[in-house]
Amino acid sequence: MQSSVLNSYPPGVPHEVHPEQYRSLGHMFEEAFQRYAERPFSVCMEQWMSYAQLDRQSKAMGAWLQSLGLEPGAKVAIMLPNVPQFAVTMCGVLRAGFTCVNVNPLYTARELEHQLTDSGATTIVILENFAVTLQQVIERTPIKHVVITSMGDLLGGLYGTWITLAVRHLARMVPPYKLPLNDDRTVTPFSQVMSQGAQRTLSKDPSTLDSVAFLQYTGGTTGLSKGAVLTHRNIVAATLQAEAWFTPALGRAGDLAKVNSIAALPLYHIFALTLCLLAIRQGSHLTLIPNPRDLNKFIAVLKKRPFHMLPAVNTLFNALLVHPEFKKLDFSTLFVSQAGGMAASEGTAKRWFEATGCPMIEGWGMSETCAIGTNNPVSNTAFTGTIGLPLPGIEIAIKDDEGHSLPNGQAGELCIKGPNVMRGYHNQPAETAAAFTADGFMRTGDIAVMQDDGYSRIVDRKKDMILVSGFNVFPNELENVISLCPGVVECAAIGVPDEKQGEAIKVFVVRKDATVTEEAVLRYCNENLTGYKRPRHIEFKDALPKTNVGKILRRELRTSATTSA
């Protein structure tokens, strides 16, 4: 790692991590379950789960899966929101020596069919709310075993039953479904899996650090999603890196058992998944938010007890800030406001600090890097506008198209090397070869500049760059500036065809104040952006299209702009 990076490290943060202290993720889990047995692991709808319960229930899940006669390393799809069944299933799959395939519960039938077929998953654990989607495609997938769970399955006897009935019959959130059965396919209720698995003994986990732990599919916003092959070594390393980086702040709670991390981002996404694994490693607990879009309920949960860590994407921070009840919360124990998943804007960061007194700490990462690759120090007291420093054991390089490293201050492709970086893409040797440089760095597709102090700044994604009269314009820069315009909540910039300039800049704006005019936004841009970076077109929208994780879909905006032109 560069000396400039290490010189900028906060005191007490190690320069390396040692995943070799564990044989596998299962080994890490079992150590935590024994050490923290009596501690709380999660709370969902005010129903608590202890580490001892997670140990017992994940062991039952693992033993039941082993009873199916699956091959070591077999792929098990997990199609669940943020409910207790997620951690039970994930830990059970890994402890049994199988591979997790996280699936977005809101996938369309087309997306689900692709992921199940591409991954080769033969088993799926799915919330009944989404079974109708599986019904549409199951005959064209390798799925042989289906485990169906209901919302209330792990929320306690009478209360859990009431929740399940309410979701089914009052909210009508479970569309009718009928999964076709044949001699090869089984459909088993989650409760039956738990009872049958509890009667069996979990066999020894054959996994090593080099075994595949997850096939973590990329967002797929530019085409069919790809499965990043993440090994046990990758995931253990990423967990230890997160622990090394965040403990100086979370340690302010006095006892890590008291640390309450808010899991509002979906656990199937690598960002929140790392939070879950960090909690297990350090013995803290998670507050599970099944539906963060219901801001009234979300904020009501935040009122119930002190919270210490809140990871979110920029759009979720924005949504909380504009809610009238948010500023009434007690932020005295909020030690980490972690921004990731998309670029954080200075305007949002400024408003967040004014409201909470806790600075937004921006980081950068990908599914391919097991979430966090770089992060600003948690000791920062202000938003830097950079993605920070590489975490322990990670090396960053800025390279040109030929793979040559560029000097500090020069823009090029951000490339990364470290124990957390994926092995490659599942069944895609050409894509894997193209993803790595000759000296072993992974190409990220992000354009960045490294400063002399080791901090890096993302300029933008290669594919989102706008070319205006031969000048490169990066949407993130425009969005960061325009987010500071009074009355603007969020915005997105794209390039649209222009006869004179090749491309002109169009900005979609969500207003907090309906009196904000196009002229006011353009005037602000004229004052803060050089000529070729100024937008030609402004369009006001009530909301911007986003992925389920909250990333703004510029591609969708480009399509709509082209169609309406």
Chain centroid to CA 390: how far? 18
Q: Are 51 and 41 in contact (CB under 8 A)?
A: yes
Cα 564 to Cα 78: distance, rounded to the nearest angstrom: 39
Please report, for residues 89, 265, 342, 369, 437, the alpha-carbon distance to residue 271 in angstroms, rounded to integers and kept in the order given.
Answer: 18, 8, 11, 10, 25
Q: Where are the domains of the chain?
A: 3-15+231-419+427-461, 23-208, 465-564
pLDDT at 221: 37
Does residue 368 contact residue 422 with C-beta atoms inside 8 Å? Answer: yes
CA neighbours within 13 Å on the CB side: how many for 69? 2
Non-local (6+) Cβ contacts of 213 within 8 A are 25, 94, 99, 100, 207, 230, 231, 232, 234, 235
Report how far apart the first and last C-alpha atoms of the chain are (Å, whole number): 49
pLDDT at 528: 85
The top-level CATH class assigned to 3-15+231-419+427-461 is alpha beta
What is the architecture of the domain spanning 23-208?
3-Layer(aba) Sandwich (3.40)
What does pTM read for this prediction? 0.88
The strand order across the sheet containing 412-417 reads 395-399, 412-417, 442-450, 456-461
**What's the CATH class of domain 465-564?**
alpha beta
Residue 222 has a pLDDT of 42
pLDDT of residue 564: 67
The two three-digit tokens of residue 140, written as one number:
């064209």
Instruction: Give the model's pLDDT for residue 477.
Output: 85
23-208 and 465-564 share one CATH topology? no
Query: How high is the pLDDT of residue 355?
Result: 96
pLDDT per 10-residue tile (average), the chain, 565 residues? 82 94 98 97 98 98 98 97 98 98 90 95 98 96 98 95 96 95 91 98 97 86 76 98 94 92 95 95 97 95 97 91 95 95 85 95 94 94 92 96 94 97 95 94 94 92 79 85 94 90 93 93 91 93 90 88 68
User: In angstroms, rounded to a whole number, what is the distance separating the alpha carbons of residues 125 and 245?
Assistant: 33
DSSP string covering 430-471: HHHHHHB-TTSPEEEEEEEEE-TTS-EEEEEEGGG-EEETTE
Q: What is the model's pLDDT at position 149?
A: 98
